[in-house]
Amino acid sequence: MLWPATLLTLLCGYGGAVSLLAAQRLATAVLLGTLMVLALCGLEALRRQHRTAVAEGESLGLELARRAAQSERRDADWQSYLTEQSELMRLELEHFVKERLPAAVRGRTVPPPRPQSAELTQAVADLFERVLCEVAEECEYLEETRRLVLVELAGRVQSSAHRIQSAVTGLSDRYPDDAELLETTMLADHAATQQARHAQSLKVLCGEWPGQEWRQPLSLVDVARAASGRIVAYRRVEVTGDPAPAVRAALAEPLIHLVAELLANATEYSPPRTTVPVTVRAVQKGAVVEVHDGGLGLATDRLSTAREIASGRRPLGLREVGEVPQTGLAVVGQYARRHGFQVDLGPSPYGGLRAVVLVPAAALTDDEPGGDPFGAEEARGLTSLDPAERVPGLVPHPTGTA
């Protein structure tokens, strides 16, 4: 009500002044009246402008308040987003460190990101994937370098063992009548055979395969006898069975190595004074080599794992054999996968385990076997030794290089 009261007061004042002046001078009164009207119009205009300015000020105040509230909401949303992204990043980083990165380092299949990780920014997701790729490539390079080094060293050990065998063979040929020397050379040959087998196992676990190949097929009975000569407790192995099935020459060496690893396990886990029976027989799908031990056997879960490894369904490399290497079944599984041998483990009636190796019919041959693998001993004049003292590992050296 301030503006109407002010205008009314001015109107009354100007009206009174004009009335007084009109009594004296009409022209002056008219002029003053005109000025009064103009002043009133100016005041009204100023009043309207003031009201407009006040309204705009109020409107701007409301807009500022609205924008301030909006800014607060956006700030709160941004803080919530940052908190959520931080939590997602923490969880994804934890998953990355515990699951994905170890798999990449070990060369296994890398698990996918967490489903919630799709809410992370694309740049962060790409960064995780790039780190995994670089780590996997570097580990693959280092693993291949390590593998090549181990293969080279194993090859040198194997070549050294073959040179030792050749040297002791030549020595026994030069002094065929010296029984004590012959016994010593047999022991040296047997030790070199152990050395060569371990080196060959290392190469197999590195993905390399024996370069040796027998000249002729070999009967499975002779395969088992030759395999027994590659273990420490060869005297405890008793081989019986059908001498007819013969394995093809190309598969004789892998099968000998496979059976040797099974015999090594069987003799190690059997009581020291017990024998390890090995039976060979023909079956409808090929031929079977059975190895029994008299140990304590394995618990159900460990037996299940051992069956998967020996059958080749769960391949093991150098990374998985453990700090104290358990290479026997790992090597057996590698040969089974590569050559189609079927290997199974189960309880044995002797109390321990029974290992069954099925040699498929495609790996067998009807050709005449190469004969007794101890022919090389007889050629060196070792037939005069007692059969119980002969070392089964003294078999003809395969052709080719290790």
Q: What is the largest CA-CA distance in the chain?
A: 173
Q: Give the C-alpha separation, 397 to 212, whole Å.
A: 9
Strand partners for 286: 283, 360
Q: Give the C-alpha separation, 18 to 24, whole Å.
A: 10
3-state SS, residue 239: strand
One pLDDT digit (tens) per residue for the chain, 402 residues = 666 776 677 677 667 666 766 666 667 667 766 777 777 787 778 878 888 888 898 899 999 999 999 999 999 888 888 888 788 888 888 888 888 888 887 777 888 887 777 677 777 778 888 888 888 888 888 877 877 887 888 788 878 888 888 888 888 888 888 888 888 888 888 888 888 888 888 888 888 777 677 888 999 999 999 998 888 888 889 999 988 889 999 899 999 999 999 999 898 888 888 889 999 999 999 999 999 988 888 888 888 888 888 888 887 766 666 544 567 888 898 899 989 999 999 888 888 889 999 999 999 988 777 654 543 333 332 232 333 333 334 343 343 433
What pLDDT is attached to residue 289?
93
Cβ atoms of 343 and 309 within 8 Å: the answer is no
Q: For residue 344, which phi and psi values (nearest 5 degrees)?
A: -140, 150
Cβ atoms of 299 and 327 within 8 Å: the answer is no
Strand partners for 246: 219, 365
What pLDDT is attached to residue 375?
38
Strand partners for 360: 286
Helices 249-269 and 220-228: crossing angle in degrees, nearest 10, is 50
Which residue stretches of 206-274 are H helix?
220-228, 249-269
The CATH superfamily assigned to 212-389 is Histidine kinase-like ATPase, C-terminal domain (3.30.565.10)
Q: In this structure, what token pair is assigned to residue 76?
A: 């709160």
Q: For residue 213, which phi and psi values (nearest 5 degrees)?
A: -150, 135
